[in-house]
Copies of this chain bind each other. A is one copy, B any other.
Amino acid sequence: MTRAAGCPLCEGEGGRLVLRTPRFRVIHAAEAGFPGFYRLVWNDHVAEFSDLSAADRAACMEAVAAIEQAMREHLRPAKVNLAALGNMVPHLHWHLVARYEWDSHFPAPVWAAATRAAPDDRLADVQARLPALEQALRALFPGQSAGQA
């Protein structure tokens, strides 16, 4: 394990833990207004995607694709947004966000200014789908899910 002192993703999970594998973990982000917001956090401290070996990049992105596919099946979003930014926390993590036409920012990115308030009933509907999604996510990585927060 490569760890960096003072890095919040080395010193903490980064959110509510959904599952952990030897290479990465999946956490649920607590961003207000986006209940379908997960992050794949690489366990080792690497800054850039291209810092990973080819094998690790393949494992990382096949996991991102599998998580995205499960989000599509369970959350029925209009679009999934993927991003690895890391300007604030340069420890590789992929944002996976289920987006809806009714959400507070659509079609703008979640980092832009909000253009409306998301309806409470729609948010609650997505929220209600998370347990089944997370069960499916843990089933994608059998025998590896050490953590279930």
> Which residues of B have CB within 8 Å of A109?
83, 85, 87, 109, 111
A80 within 8 Å of B (CB atoms) = yes
> Which residues of B have CB within 8 Å of A28?
none
A15 within 8 Å of B (CB atoms) = no
Structural contact, A49 and B79, CB atoms closer than 8 A: no
**Would A48 and B62 be within 8 Å (CB), given that A109-B111, A112-B111 are in contact?**
no
Identical chains bound together, number: 2
**Would A48 and B72 be within 8 Å (CB), given that A81-B87, A83-B82, A83-B83 are in contact?**
yes
> Which residues of B have CB within 8 Å of A87?
78-79, 81, 99, 106-109
> Which residues of B have CB within 8 Å of A140?
none
Provide the main secondary structure of the chain A interface. Answer: mixed
> Which residues of B have CB within 8 Å of A85?
79, 81-83, 109
Structural contact, B72 and A62, CB atoms closer than 8 A: no
Q: Which A residues are closer than 8 A to B by beta carbons?
A: 47-50, 52, 54, 57-58, 61-62, 64-66, 68-69, 72, 78-88, 90, 99, 106-109, 111-113
